[in-house]
Amino acid sequence: MVKLKVDRGRCIGCGSCVSLYPDIFEMDGGRAKERDGEKEFSSEEGEEIKSVCPVGAIIENNDK
């Protein structure tokens, strides 16, 4: 299982992740961030979600 987060330094605020996955991401100050709460995805789901970001700013969160 994988957890995801937004690399806010890399996010350009395109909003695709928030449009497609509003339960997972929200906009904050022109950039996306992951919503609070533990969310885990299968690696397949994780890859699909990561692929919506054109600049690769959705990354795996291995800290939590």
Contact positions toward ligand F3S, by CB under 6 A? 6, 11-18, 31-32, 52-53, 55, 57-58
Nearer to ligand F3S, 19 or 43 (CB): 19
Q: Is the dihedral of CA 15, 30, 49, 40 positive or negative?
A: negative
User: Least distance in Å: CB of 59 to ligand F3S?
Assistant: 9
Contacts of 50 (CB under 8 A, 6+ apart): 4, 56, 58, 59, 60
Nearer to ligand F3S, 37 or 54 (CB): 54
Find where tokens 């969160």 sit.
Answer: 61
Nearer to ligand F3S, 2 or 32 (CB): 32
